[in-house]
Structure 1
Amino acid sequence: MTSYDSGRGRADRCPGVLRPWIAADGALVRLRLVGGRLPTRALAALIRIAATHADENLYLTKRANVQLRALDHEDGCVSPAFVEAVTAAGLLPSPSHELVRNVMVSPLSGRRGGRADLRGVADRYDALVCADPDLAALSARFLVVLDDGRGDLVGRSLDLGAMAVSASEAQVSVGRDGWGEVVPTSDLPDVLLTLARRFLAANHGGAWHVDELADRGASLLGHPHARDLRTHVTALPLPHGSVQQDDGRVALHLPVPDGRLTPDLAATVLARAGDEVVVTPWRSLLLPDLEKTP
């Protein structure tokens, strides 16, 4: 099912593996990473895929995803070999819902600072979305943003979101300035799922975003709430370099110039990374859970 915006008069064309954007240099695809999290083994596979099928580089986006460029295509589709390679790397877990798996999380959540670890919330919400056939109709631009209470994502544009106000609670948000209840973080995936379903039910004009609804999403909440005072925090940009984690290990925040992860820089990342890397909304890479060197 394709989503339309009546004001634009055209389909949402945000790219994916199975719906590439055809550019002058070839097909462009976007791989969606929930919370920006990417197993290092999958990154290694992706680097090989880029060398074989694309222009060798990986391109980081401001939504903490990865793009590949200059892929061969025919009749608007990339090659089956490319799709098979991406699937084998574990980067296309739900072909039917690949375009709507748009979830951002504070990159250091659960590792340093913040009020709550929201990684599990993101994973559970993603699983619930992928299990609901109707939610494949969401726009590929529909975005969920989860701030763990430090304020690093609180200013981001979003459709649905939440900000942790304690270790076990978060306040729900919709659109640019709508705030809902403070709910237990354990309930948050189901609450967000319900709001996504309400958005589809209210979306008679083919809007891509909550703010495009006639009431800017107020009806999704049922009863809007005042913004909790504990959400009025912001965080400075994460500095590059070594970051002490709460568990005594360290994370390394690496700049990626212009968001372009070249083969040489990728080799450096693979040599230093642990089990996982995190693509940040600032088009950089976080290498967490590293042991301190003497």
Structure 2
Amino acid sequence: MLAAMPPPATTPAPPGDASVRARGDACPGTLRLHRADDGSLARIRVPGGVLTADQADVLRELAVRLGDGELHLTSRGNVQLRGLGQECGAELVSRMSESGLLPSERHERVRNVVASPLSGLDGRGERDIRPWLSALDALLCASDAAAGLSGRFLFALDDGRGDVDALGADVTLRALSDGDAILRIGAEESVVRIPGAGAPQAALIAAETFLEASPASGAWRVTDLPAGAESLLDEVARRLGPAGTRTVAPVGPQGSTAPAPGMVTGPRDVVALSVGLPLGRIGAGQWQTLTDIARHRGDGELRLTPWRGVVVPGTGREQAAELLDSLGAAGLIVGPRSPWTGVGACIGRPGCAKSLADVRAEAAAALGPVGALPVYWSGCERRCGHPQGEWIDVVATPDGHQVALVRDGRRDAPVSIDDSPPALAAAVSAARGALD
């Protein structure tokens, strides 16, 4: 039995502290649309990125009938519909509810859960985390307190391979080889070791404890807490009682690594298909091709990844090459040598009023040899949707662009490039370290 403990004492943040939020959380959802220059935007939470083929059909239908005809994947494995009209809200909510994509209106923006997308498919990892995923989502939707989480708060469920553990979530569960799990708060090296069976409940307790600690500071995420994540972890460990043991995270594989595009080999001659989406967006026809493969050649499921890709589980080995060829012909990334591999961008102009450039068109014009490092193009200093880890940062400025290497959370001194497309493409290719 998990012990209930009083909330920790908190120290109000000083006036002007960056962690104090002076306005409400405006993160978009299905019920709260965001007005952009290209129309309204809906962000649909897809916990763990898992969609049934029927749910995928609903999203395609809504994108075509109500939006711009494309589906846009986010860095959390969620889906955005853009170009929506002002009067579409009621129909959008109705279709989401009917399809099971909106199990709780009160919790629709807080169901931010990323999960190892290849869990249970390739024989790696320490456990299949899908039971954790369904259990955590049900616990979140049943918790009155959890409805108070911000739309930015993030859970990560890592099967032990270290992929989503590296994404900087607020609460991370990572499977261990002995059946236990570690619970991490923020980026802390200290963790709580817990029985694997109780991991989803422990994650919810961590989130509810954060909510009790955050009112005085106005924090939306763990990194906003004035006292930091360590004191929060101490309190979570106390609440878990005998079920939790404070320790240091065991050394293991760690890296924000996307599934490589192509065939993912699994046991019993069953494979999965991993594809990337150029700039994270996909047209209705391409989406239909993926959905048809999932329904008729796979397990009836699509898994959206935090790296703006899609995994289709359950295809046979003999047909996999043919299916990959069809997806490549449809314009998707199906192999590591695609020039689109590792290239990302924010929406840019004309969709965003704050953007200083059409960075998606610029990224397409600057495609070159596959780079050793990913590159992300941002239309302004906000860098919406940028990746984690080591990457090349390209930011539009009033005078052109800045190109810089980001590593360990720090940005090296940038190189300024004027509005010469050839010079910009050359600078980006050099920074990425083109492979032979």
**Which of residues 254, 261, 276 in structure 1 aligns to 2:301?**
276
Match of 1:140 in 2: 151
Cα distance in structure 2, aligned partners of 1:124 and 1:193? 10
Match in the other structure for 2:322: none
Shift of 1:240: 0.6
Task: Tell me if 1:173 matches 2:184.
Answer: yes
2:312 paired residue number: 287
Instruction: Write the distance in 1 (CA, Å) between the matches of 2:46 and 2:89.
Output: 22
Give unpaired runs (5+ residues) of structure 2. 1-17, 238-244, 320-436
Instruction: Determine if the alignment matches structure 1 residue 126 to structure 2 residue 137.
Output: yes
1:56 to partner: Cα distance: 0.9
- 1:230 and 1:286 map into 2 onto residues whose CA distance is 28
CA shift digits 1:15-47 (9 cap, x unpaired): 100011111121101111111101011101211
Q: Hey, what does 2:6 align to over in structure 1? A: none
Q: Does 1:71 align with 2:84?
A: yes
Out of 63, 66, 85, the position equivalent to 1:50 is 63
Residue number among 76, 97, 118 corresponding to 1:87 in the alignment? 97
Q: Deviations over 1:263-293 (max 9, x none)?
A: 2211221232131000001101100111232
1:115-163 Cα offsets, whole Å, 9 max, x none, are 1111111211111111011210111100011111111122211110121
Q: Partner residue of 2:261?
A: 240
Letter in 1 for 2:316: E
The residue number in structure 2 matching 1:35 is 48
Q: Could you tell me whether the CA contact under 8 Å between 1:252 and 1:287 is conserved in 2?
A: yes
- Which whole-Å deviations, capped at 9, do the CAs of 1:83-135 have from their partners, x for residues lacking one? 21222222111111001001110001122211111111121111111101121
Counterpart amino acid of residue 24 in structure 1: D
Instruction: Give the secondary-structure state (helix, strand or coil) at the position aligned to 2:292.
Output: helix
Residue number in structure 1 paired with 2:113: 103
Determine which structure has greater relative contact order: mean sequence separation of CA pairs < 8 Å that are 6+ residues apart, divided by chain length.
Answer: 1
**Partner AA of 1:193 in structure 2:** L
Amino acid at match of 2:86: H
Unaligned runs of 5+ in 1: none
Match of 1:10 in 2: 23
Instruction: Evaluate the alpha carbon distance shift between residue 95 and residue 236 of structure 1 in structure 2; reply closer, same or farther with a 3 A threshold.
Output: closer
Q: 1:114/1:235 Cα in 2 relative to 1: closer, same or farther (>3 Å)?
A: farther
Alpha-carbon distance in structure 2 between the residues aligned to 1:179 and 1:248: 40
Worse-superposed segment, 215-224 or 124-133: 215-224
CA RMSD of aligned residues (A): 1.8
Partner of residue 331, structure 2: none
Partner SS, residue 100 of structure 1: coil
Bigger Cα Rg: 2
SS in 2 for 1:73: coil
1:27-75 Cα shifts (integer Å, max 9, x gaps): 101111111101011101211111111111100011000000011115x
What is the alpha-carbon distance in structure 2 between the residues aligned to residue 31 and residue 292 of structure 1?
32
2:248 match: secondary structure? coil
Q: Which moved more, 1:275-284 or 1:259-268?
A: 259-268
The 8 Å contact of residues 46 and 89 in structure 1, kept in 2 or not, is answered as no
Distance 2:157 2:189 in 1: 15
Q: Equivalents in 1 of 2:260, 2:178: separation in Å?
A: 25
Q: Give the Cα separation in 1 of the matches to 2:255 and 2:19.
A: 35
CA shift for structure 1 position 7: 2.5
Contact 1:178/1:217 (<8 A) preserved = no
Conserved? CA contact 2:55–2:99, under 8 Å? yes
The SS at the match of 2:59 is helix
Task: Specify the alignment match of 2:385 in structure 1.
Answer: none
Whether the aligned pair in 2 keeps the contact of 1:165 and 1:230 (CA below 8 Å) is: no
Q: Secondary structure at the match of 2:269?
A: coil
- Calculate percent identity across the aligned residue pairs: 37
Residues 235, 64 of structure 1: alpha-carbon distance in 2 compared, 3 angstrom cutoff = closer
Q: Which moved more, 1:277-286 or 1:159-168?
A: 159-168
The number of residue pairs the alignment matches comes to 287
Residue identity matched to 2:81: L
The Cα shift of 1:229 comes to 2.4
TM-score, length of structure 1 as denominator length: 0.92
Q: How far is 1:235 from its partner?
A: 7.0
| Among 147, 152, 156, the residue aligned to 2:167 | 156
Match of 1:262 among 274, 280, 283: 283
